[in-house]
Amino acid sequence: MGSLPVANVQALAAASRDVPERYIRPEAGAHPGFADCGVDIPVIDFSRFLDPDSSRDESSKLHLACQNWGFFQLINHTVPKEVIEKMKLDVREFFQLPLEEKRQLAQVTGDVQGYGQLFVVSKDQKLDWADVLYLNTQPAPERCLRFWPTQPLTFRAALDNYSAELKNLADRLLEIMAKNLELNPDVVTDKFKVGIQSIRFNYYPPCPQADKVLGFSQHSDADLITLVLQVNQVQGLQIKRSGEWFPVMPLPGAFIVNVGDIFEILSNGRYKSIEHRVVVNTERERLSIATFHSPQSHAMIGPLQELVRGSGARYKTVNHEDFMKLFFSSKLDGKSFLDRMRY
């Protein structure tokens, strides 16, 4: 498990206005600008779950959002503003450090954590216009601190707080989602609780030929649910809907939440993971923080018995570790990874 080492994109972007051939993507095409054709993904108001007068209503709204979109914006969530703002500040500062400083946290062979690029599995594959810092954050005792920044000085504490808050929020969302699927509480404890959390800090440098590259190849996430925080106001996330790419416009302070492949498998396809990608800007860098939540490492990943009845299992059952190994050793290519799990 690991990714082949390739050029640092931030350094590449700073050094020259030429975009090397390996980053040119025919499929990037002309993409919509900022203001036009914004698609309104559903907005879920977390505070409405906490009020007995509105919680049912909001739960059915969430069910429809998961069924029909696989993506929604979450507002009025429980994560304190200070925790978010501190994380944003520290991650910006991290990516501004000199390259030699960041390279101290460079990925090593056989591990996907650290600073670098992900999903590069062959020498001739096309590359994404981004650098990432990827860390396993939960369970906390299994953290590999050698990859955790010590600059800025508060980074580790900020991430520790952010990680705990997001885990808590994800658990609460998963509980509501499981109720919406009328799952038995035992199953919820075993599979719909966050066991593993990992966080990817994404840095997308500006690109002189922004419409010819991709910041993040088309993919679906391999987890239960992902919560994405847009760090600065540069838009770039697009989701695939009815075969077309639509930009997502994050509301201030909102998390963009999406259903991942593991959720699709467990729910036997009731909720589907949706393909998405990132485009970049010609002038401005873009930063985002994607937080991935998966069940505990010993959970088996396969359709839940109670959702298989009648329709039959649509996906194979595999153990979680094999599932993740397979994911990280594949090139990102839409939902082709999930397709290998299908019957």
Judged by the rule CB under 6 A, the positions of this chain that interact with ligand OGA are: 200, 202, 216, 221, 228, 237, 276, 278, 288, 290
Q: Which is nearer to ligand OGA, 174 or 290 (CB)?
A: 290
What's the alpha-carbon Rg for the chain, to the nearest Å?
A: 19
Pairing of strands 43-45, 71-75: parallel
Contacts of 112 (CB under 8 A, 6+ apart): 1, 2, 3, 118, 134, 328
CB of 287 to ligand OGA, least distance (A): 8
Residue with tokens 């594959």: 125
Q: Which is nearer to Ni ion, 161 or 202 (CB)?
A: 202
Q: Which is nearer to ligand OGA, 74 or 228 (CB)?
A: 228
Q: Which is nearer to ligand OGA, 8 or 218 (CB)?
A: 218
Q: Which is nearer to ligand OGA, 217 or 268 (CB)?
A: 217
Read off the amino acid at residue 107. Answer: Q
**How far is Cα 99 from Cα 182, in angstroms, rounded to an integer?**
50
Q: What number of chain residues touch Ni ion (CB under 5 A)?
A: 1
Span near Ni ion by CB under 5 A; candidates 130-138, 181-189, 214-222, 317-325? 214-222
Read off the amino acid at residue 318. Answer: V
Span near Ni ion by CB under 5 A; candidates 125-133, 135-143, 155-163, 215-223? 215-223
At 5, list the tokens.
Answer: 């080492």
Binds 228: which of Ni ion, ligand OGA, none (CB < 5-8 Å by kind): ligand OGA
Q: Are 307 and 268 in contact (CB under 8 A)?
A: yes
Alpha-carbon dihedral sign for residues 70, 73, 79, 83? positive
Q: Among residues 16, 191, 204, which one has the least CA distance to residue 117?
A: 204
Cα distance between the two ends of the chain: 25
Is residue 221 within the footprint of Ni ion (CB under 5 A)? yes
Q: Which is nearer to ligand OGA, 133 or 265 (CB)?
A: 133
Binds 289: which of ligand OGA, Ni ion, none (CB < 5-8 Å by kind): none
At 329, list the tokens.
Answer: 């050793």
Q: Are 200 and 180 in contact (CB under 8 A)?
A: no
CB of 153 to ligand OGA, least distance (A): 26
CB of 102 to ligand OGA, least distance (A): 18
CB of 291 to ligand OGA, least distance (A): 9
At 227, list the tokens.
Answer: 């919560």
Span near Ni ion by CB under 5 A; candidates 106-114, 199-207, 213-221, 330-338? 213-221
CB of 253 to Ni ion, least distance (A): 20
Chain residues binding Ni ion by CB under 5 A are 221
